[in-house]
Amino acid sequence: MRLRGRKFKQGLEAQADLVVLEPQKLKGRWHEFFGNDRPIMIEIGMGKGRFITQMSARNPEINYIGMDMFDELLQRGSEKARAIWQEKGEERVPNLALVRGNAEFLEDMFEPGELTRIYLNFSDPWPKSKHGKRRLTHPLFLMRYKRLLSDVGEIHFKTDSLSLFEFSLNSFADTGLQLRNVSLHLHRDELREDLVMTEYETKFVGLGQPIYRLEAVIGARALAEHRERLDAEHAEQERRAEEALARRKSGHAGAAEADDE
């Protein structure tokens, strides 16, 4: 295993254009790494990398970071990313960094406001209550994310674990975060092809298991825009209700006039 680990490390060290083994050195300078000032979105615990590599190919106008602690997973992710972009005619992956790191040390890697969105996909549920602080949706982690996200910052969370989802709902509430698009069975009616699925998700959906999902709106500007959309939706619903009531009243009045005749 030691030789295998050394082999992965050597292979990753040769991929400085894609793989970042010491992310703390880029704290506050991630836009320099990407060579632009586009939004930066990170998946914490990318696993084999299907989600983050496909997101990078689907949205070339956004910078993505896939983070995991294991060199083997970084290597698998790099292979996927290069294969996807080569199919698009690109030898280099222009908008993705694969980072070796631990969520506990995020604030050593990023400056406040440097991230736009955090993806938490099928994180370890840590089922024992004594391990609650290790869950990536524990309030301690959520407050850390809050500090690192920009004024349009969001968290997108998916899991197959009902117990983790229930725990997470309470954590989001305890930290005062605004939730939207909460789903208790994401693919119940049909596959959400607008959302990239992870390897785990594909497996669980194939077994008919429900996928739980939510979005947390955090940044001040994101919250203002969210509330503005809600106000507009409520105003439209109220307008339609008033129109329906007016039509019913008009119909009753017409019927009364007919009876008088």
Annotated binding residue at 107? no
Residue showing tokens 């194939």:
206
If you ran DSSP here, which 8-state letter would residue 145 be given? H
- Quote the tokens at residue 73: 């997973």
Mode of pairing for the β-strands spanning 149-159 and 212-217: antiparallel
Predicted pLDDT at 36: 97
Annotated binding residue at 128? yes
- Quote the tokens at residue 190: 């049909």
**What residues contact 32, with CB distance under 8 A and at least 6 apart?**
26
Catalytic-role residue among 124, 151, 174, 231: 124
pTM of the entire predicted model: 0.87
Annotated binding residue at 43? yes
Residue spans of the chain under pLDDT 70: 1-7, 252-261
Q: If you write DSSP's letter for every residue of 36-94 in order, what string do you get?
A: S---EEEEES-TTSHHHHHHHHH-TTSEEEEEES-HHHHHHHHHHHHHHHHHTT-SS-T
- Of 2, 65, 5, 7, residue with least CA distance to 39: 65
- Of 93, 94, 98, 78, residue with least CA distance to 21: 98
Annotated binding residue at 159? no
Predicted pLDDT at 3: 39
Annotated binding residue at 242? no
Annotated binding residue at 199? yes
Amino acid at 143: M
Give the E-state strand segments of 136-193 in sequence order. 149-159, 178-183
- Of 154, 114, 144, 145, residue with least CA distance to 32: 114
Q: Is 124 a catalytic residue?
A: yes
CB 202 within 8 A of CB 51: no
Predicted pLDDT at 1: 36
Maximum Cα–Cα distance for the chain, whole Å? Answer: 98
Annotated binding residue at 198? yes
